Amino acid sequence: MAEISDDELEAIRQRKLAELQRSQHESTAREQAISRAKTEIETAMKNLLTADAWDQWNNAKIANEQNAFIAASELIRLAQSGQIKGKITKEQIRGVLAAVARQTTREFKIKRK
């Protein structure tokens, strides 16, 4: 059985440590980018929604964050293209959230033999 010298062991440790640090740095950068994007979306939504609609969207965000941000992205896109004029009401945001939920819901079919 081959013996590993102390120098080789130290080189392996250093490589592993560098890998872990690089991975942690990338993960931190990714988390910061996601956080900035969420903040930008929330700021845009606050400007688009009435107070009641904002509360409704926040409730939806708590229930299903992914669907809430999908709906928000769609509403922001529509507002930027000029298709939405004025503030979005609670009823309108409910409709958008329901439509997103219908699109993202999976159906399960169980067949018994």
Give the tokens for residue 81: 């293209």
Express each pLDDT in 23-79 by its tens digit: 998 889 999 999 999 999 999 999 999 999 999 999 999 999 999 999 999 999 989
Give the pLDDT score at 4. Answer: 79
Q: Domains (ranges, CATH) in the chain?
A: 6-104 (1.10.8.140)
How many other C-beta atoms lie within 10 A of the C-beta of residue 54? 19
Express each pLDDT in 1-16 by its tens digit: 567 788 888 899 999 9
The pLDDT confidence band at residue 85, using thresholds 50, 70 and 90, is: confident
DSSP state of 109: -
pLDDT, greater one: 107 or 60: 60
